[in-house]
Amino acid sequence: MMGFIQRLFGSKPSPSPSASVRNEPQTIEEVQAKTLLGFLIPQLQLLGFELEEVPTTGKYVSKRSRGYIYGLAAAILGATSQKINSGMVDDIMHTAFTLVWGRENAQRLFDMTLAECAARNGDTLAGSYRAEADVGEVFQEKPHAAVMGLWLLNNGLNNPEVIMPPIENPRPLPPSNSDPVETSIDDLASRLDEPKITLLCDCFGQIMMPQLEQLGIQPGGIEHSSLAGSAQACGYVQGLCAAIADASGFQPNDEYGVVLGIWAFDEMYGNIGQVLHRKTMKAIVDQDMSAIHGVLLAREDMSALSEKRPDYKASGFRQIASGSLFK
């Protein structure tokens, strides 16, 4: 990322991204760097901020704002690169978040946004989809096209839900070639209410432990090669964590969901917990149907428990791990 940032600050923003693409002597990295700056600097200037100095509180770091920056980086990469690898994705994503919120905050905010996209959060996707559309129109040289979504969301003149309505039926995401970045549970948990985290962990245990007892499985040592460590089972664990966090009403529930997810994978799978957590998040983003099936089973269980259906007992994980679901 440092090399990309150095290229960014060693270049002046291009007034016309599409013209930059046609400038053959430029490398793709230079085109992307100038395009990022060309899209971001005018918006930040109108908001009264310098690069890397946007506040990390309130509306300036909303789901739509972060989603817009996520979509902006993805759209620029897609519009300027024929072949995309994981290093390119990691580079431009982290650079975009750094340019807006600073180096100290970029990693955390990118992790949060990636988790929301994986959970198909309608507000985050609203920002991302709008950015992709804006960038696409600029590169297609449509009249009056402009990339101004971050300014529109944060200028105090607009209702974000009106200018970027939440996405109710999200389209599938294209496969991602990048591995989700490792998240520090200590860093996330330090900013949250510890009693609330404990409450969410207890809720997870109340739903999961009876299923493990029926399976005769001890938490902490589940093998990745077993059905209990399959993509469906891991999808169930992640889906249950997200559903519990959403049902709690705690804000920001996305951060609580991430912390709960990391904790749950550590508790369930021991030493391989965080590896499986990252793989599961990537599988969900990549629309892996096995992982998504597990997520849907978890949501069904949580929905039934929340509605207090008589005599209902959560059983999705038990069905997956016992093999009964496949018979």
In the 8-state DSSP scheme, what is residue 120?
T
pLDDT at 184: 54
Closest CA to 106 of 118, 114, 94, 117: 94
Q: DSSP H helical segments within 84-169, as ranges?
A: 86-101, 103-118, 122-139, 149-154, 160-163
- Amino acid residing at 283: A
Residue 164's pLDDT band (cuts 50, 70, 90) = very high
Evaluate if residue 262 carries a pLDDT over 70.
yes
Confidence of residue 178 (pLDDT cuts 50, 70, 90): very low
Rounded Cα distance between 111 and 46, Å, is 27
Reference 127, options 99, 153, 154; nearest CA is 153
Q: Tell me the pLDDT band of 145, cut-offs 50, 70 and 90.
A: confident
Of all residues in the chain, the percent with pLDDT exceeding 70 is 83
DSSP 233-282: HHHHHHHHHHHHHHHH--SSHHHHHHHHHHHHHHHHHGGGHHHHHHHHHH
What does the alpha-carbon distance between residue 47 and residue 40 come to, in Å, rounded to a whole number? 11
1: number of Cβ within 10 Å? 15
If you average pLDDT over residues 293-298, what whole number do you get? 88
pLDDT band for 42, please (50, 70, 90 cuts): very high
pLDDT at 183: 46
Least confident of 167-171, 201-205, 209-213, 237-241: 167-171
pLDDT at 187: 63
Greater confidence (13 vs 49) lies with 49
- From residue 192, alpha-carbon distances to 195, 253, 259 in Å are 9, 10, 9
Alpha-carbon distance 167 to 158, whole Å? 18
DSSP-assigned letters across all residues of 287-322: T-HHHHHHHHHHHHHHHHHHTT-TT----HHHHHHH
pLDDT in the model for residue 1: 43
What's the rounded Cα separation, in Å, for the pair 133 and 130? 5
Average pLDDT over the chain, rounded to whole? 82
User: Which DSSP state fits 190?
Assistant: T
What average pLDDT does the segment 142-147 reach? 86
pLDDT band, residue 30 (cuts 50/70/90): confident
pLDDT higher than 50, residue 20? no
Task: Point out the least confidently predicted range of 4-18, 208-222, 295-309.
Answer: 4-18
Report pLDDT for 256. 84
> Which of 89-98, 149-158, 184-193, 196-205 is the least confident region?
184-193
The C-alpha torsion from 216 through 217 and 218 to 221, rounded to 10°, is: 150
Nearest Cα neighbor of 230 from 238, 313, 315, 211 is 238
pLDDT confidence of 35, banded at 50, 70, 90?
Answer: very high
Separation of alpha carbons 209 and 295, rounded Å:
18
What average pLDDT does range 119-143 have in this prediction? Answer: 89
Comparison of pLDDT for 191 and 310, the residue scoring more: 310
Does the pLDDT of residue 147 top 90, yes or no? yes
86-101 vs 28-47: helix axis angle to the nearest 10?
Answer: 20
With bands split at pLDDT 50, 70 and 90, how would you rate the model's confidence at 218? confident
Judged against a pLDDT cut of 90, whether residue 141 lies above it is answered with: no
- The per-residue pLDDT for 252 is 79
Segment 187-207 shows an average pLDDT of 84
| SS3 state at 98 | helix
H or E element, residue 215: helix 194-215
Q: What is the pLDDT of residue 6?
A: 47
203 contact partners, CB below 8 Å, separation of at least 6: 244, 248
Could you tell me the pLDDT band of residue 176, with boundaries at 50, 70 and 90? Answer: very low
* Inter-CA distances, 36 with 40, 69, 181, Å: 6, 10, 22
List all residues 6 or more positions away from 76 whose beta carbon is below 8 Å from its beta carbon.
17, 32, 35, 36, 39, 92, 135
pLDDT mean over 1-6: 45
